[in-house]
Chains A and B, each alone.
Chain A
Amino acid sequence: MTTGSTSAVVTGAAGWLGQNLVRALLSDGRRVRGLVRTPEERSLLELLGPSAEAVVGDVRDPSAVDALFAGVGEATVFHSAAVIHPAKHVRELFDVNVGGTQLVLDRSKRAGAARFLHVSSNSPFGANPTRDHRFTEDSPYHPYLGYGRSKMEAEQLARSYHERGDVPVVILRAPWFYGPFQPPRQTRFIAAVRRGRFPVVGDGSARRSMVYTGNLVQGLLRAERSEAAPGRAYWIADPEPYEVREVVETVRRAAADEGLAVSGGSPRVPVALARAAAALDAVLQARGRYVQPLHVLGELRDTIACDVTRAREELGYDPEVTLYEGMRASIRWCLERGEPV
């Protein structure tokens, strides 16, 4: 058991971002209480040290979130619990991403949290209109399907809690992650790229912003401290977006340099096919059904790229890890865990 007061509350503590964030907070000497979904996740989190504590529960559950905030005062809330790829139904996106966010905001307000850091996404903004366009913090909402709408509604909720003076809120928008503690889908991605089986749409020149987990954690911690931040939103990503073909080449190079066999080429998928997948995905989602591979294929042809100037200027955000280094770190993490990369 910990003594002294919790200074950081983390939802999604056992998630991809959460695992990286909790470790960074603990190594900063902070007391952390995280919300996790299973007793196994709790054990693993509490193994990290005496300053780590976990509550098992559903982020939609008033009693679980009460337990999460029990005895917590002016802590910082890092809200990263979300569903990106629902198990079956589109409805889950809204229940967790909006309903869960509202509950955590409500309890943060009640506890007198010092700051609420809301982890958001590029999805409320859709795709860039051109290859060279970059999303800034002033870009208008243009949500892409259910996930986009749910994350947009969550941002609007978070913003309203700030504007009403209930709790100071900062919104951090992160694009596609890469880094340690990656989920199976990311391991499959790296494995597919290394074996030359990852489909590249068209000539692969579409641009994608990505963010190394370490860079994202840095962004969150800077946003926690910055005096300019409350009430504002920030894009947190690697310095520049990458062309999809560049991502593929870099992953293959990183894999080879970590001693893995690299084979095959990169199969090209016609843009028309990706467009058809996107259309079918939209139809299914309108009926409440979610089919992950279809969704992913549908998004592959888009440019989704953002500009991190505001985060640099106002938060002092300074991403250090490069794509190559980050992918090597991810692959090493997989190899250490015996993940099938």
Chain B
Amino acid sequence: MRSLDTEVLVIGSGAGGAVTAATLAEAGRTVTVVEEGPWVDPDAIEPFSLDEMVVKYRYGGPAAALGTPSVGYAEGRCVGGSTEINSGLYHRLPGDLAEEWRRTYDIDEFTPDVLDHYAGGIESLLTVSKVPGAPPASSAVIERGATKLGWRSVEFARVFAYDEQGRGTKQTMARTMIPRAVAAGATVVPDCRVVRLLRQGPRVVGARCRRTTPEGATERLDIRADHVFVCCGAIHTPALLQRSGWWSRIGGGLKLHPTVKVAARFPSPLDHGDVPMHRVTEFAPKLTIGGSASRRGQVAMALAESSAEYEDALAEWEHVAVYYAAIRSDSAGRVLTLPRASAPLVTYRLTDADLSRLARGLVNLGELLLAAGATELYPSISQSGVARRQEDLVAWWDGLTRSRANLMTVHLTSSVRMGQEGALSGADSFGRVWGAQHLRVNDASLIPDAPGVNPQAAIMMIAARNAEHFLATA
């Protein structure tokens, strides 16, 4: 059994943890970051490949929030967290949402000037940019279809840096904030899972970990810390807090962006390198339409979801790309740690209004893709068959039922929530867990509700703000 002393322990090295570690280390604090997953060289593995899934995803693949229907999801489990496996799309938290949350959750210092300040700070450290030159064909599909239908669409920026040849590299935490933290003196310990937090009454004093050594042995590691930041994501932050004895308003209120997909076949080949960066914003914030990773493997899976005959389309897979419609849902889910199991139980309940919204999104997506020139549409509804004309879309309303819908989510948030309205949140305006001392949360679980856009910008902005608050007060 080893032990280690540090001033600030950051658990998790994703968007929240990495920003926390970099901010605190650069301010001169002694920071130790533990990360359950391995360190993976960012250049070593192709994005969205099988290798990436096996090495960087928790469980080596997808998990599911159980319900009728279940909603599939994936989490990154490696240094850099989910930023290592996401599309890199970057969108600031919409101001009207932030204001709504400020009022409902009574969040201090959550006004536009504060949020813009921290967002600007993040953006100066990462490279946030649109695609130089013409967007890829798979993304142009969205813009083309939207223009034809008179729908608003926009190109989202991404955390991508471009070299002189115009080649882009995603600026993940492993490439940016983690090296900054290390350069400022932080220690990062990968392959180290926190079993539970160590506490004396309400005060956190450290963490009990199980670490896998480079030789493959497991050792117990106890870390003593003055302050602990839990940044394990919307699923594992509440799971860890629950394992450590904090349950009040922790784990419930989980929010997803339930998503349906359509694999669309076009007359001409498309690209398959980048996730499309265009989005249809006509129906925002309740409904967003965009594109997904479309390597051959993802195309094959998407084609198969409709139960239609797809071998023909798969043979011509370069002509096929996968698109999605995602909703902001009315209801919420729950994370529940299970005894003697490492994986928590995750459940999510979709309301009838949610399912209707998903059906509406699916039909809109179908209209968009046909307007953009698609000849065949394979929706993620079991036994739906192929749609080829607009007349075929109306059947999708009745086809998207609880038992036939194949749903997933890319984003997970809100399982702890922040704000002074104690009845609604598990942590205060700056992430300090109610009923605990020296314990903060600083990740997606703080975001009060589903943001309707990719959350990494909001996560990083809030993490920076909360880290600065810690520096000013602790």
Residues of A within 8 A of B (CB): 58, 60-64, 66, 89-91, 93-95, 98-99, 102, 106, 109-110, 146, 149-150, 153, 288
Complex: how many Å from CA A102 to CA B149?
14
Complex: how many Å from CA A13 to CA B236?
54
Number of contact residues on B: which range applies?
10 to 19
Beyond A90-B352, A149-B353, is A60–B363 a contact (Cβ under 8 Å)?
yes
Q: Which of B352, B390, B393 contacts A91 (CB 8 A)?
A: B352
Produce 1/0 per residue, B339-368, CB < 8 A to A.
000000000000011011101100100010
Q: Which of A58, A63, A94 contacts B356 (CB 8 A)?
A: A94
Inter-chain pairs besides A62-B393, A99-B356, 11 sampled, C-beta below 8 Å: A62-B390, A62-B394, A90-B352, A91-B355, A91-B356, A94-B353, A94-B356, A95-B359, A146-B352, A146-B353, A153-B353
Q: Which 9 A-B pairs have the closest CB atoms?
A: A94-B356, A61-B394, A91-B352, A99-B360, A90-B352, A63-B391, A63-B390, A94-B353, A95-B356
- Chain A nearest CB from B129 CB (Å) reads 28
Does A58 contact B394, Cβ atoms closer than 8 Å? yes
- Chain A nearest CB from B377 CB (Å) reads 13
In the assembled complex, which residues on chain A have CB atoms less than 8 Å from the CB atom of B391? 61, 63
Helix, strand, loop or mixed for chain A's interface? helix
A58 to B, closest residue via Cβ: B394
Q: Is B162 positioned at the interface, with any CB of A under 8 Å from its CB?
A: no
Helix, strand, loop or mixed for chain B's interface? helix
B398 to A, closest residue via Cβ: A95
Does A98 contact B390, Cβ atoms closer than 8 Å? no
Q: Is B283 positioned at the interface, with any CB of A under 8 Å from its CB?
A: yes
Residues of B within 8 A of A (CB): 149-150, 283, 352-353, 355-357, 359-360, 363, 367, 390-391, 393-394, 397
Complex: how many Å from CA A110 to CA B363?
17
Does A63 contact B394, Cβ atoms closer than 8 Å? yes
Does A89 contact B352, Cβ atoms closer than 8 Å? yes
Complex: how many Å from CA A150 to CA B352?
10
Complex: how many Å from CA A135 to CA B357?
29
B370 to A, closest residue via Cβ: A62
Does A94 contact B357, Cβ atoms closer than 8 Å? yes
Complex: how many Å from CA A275 to CA B246?
39
- Chain B nearest CB from A91 CB (Å) reads 4
- Chain A nearest CB from B353 CB (Å) reads 5
In the assembled complex, which residues on chain A have CB atoms less than 8 Å from the CB atom of B397? 60, 95, 99
In the assembled complex, which residues on chain B have CB atoms less than 8 Å from the CB atom of A61? 391, 393-394
- Chain A nearest CB from B130 CB (Å) reads 24
Does B283 contact A110, Cβ atoms closer than 8 Å? no
Does A62 contact B356, Cβ atoms closer than 8 Å? no
- Chain A nearest CB from B399 CB (Å) reads 12
A102 to B, closest residue via Cβ: B360
Complex: how many Å from CA A229 to CA B338?
58
In the assembled complex, which residues on chain B have CB atoms less than 8 Å from the CB atom of A109? 150
In the assembled complex, which residues on chain A have CB atoms less than 8 Å from the CB atom of B360? 95, 98-99, 102
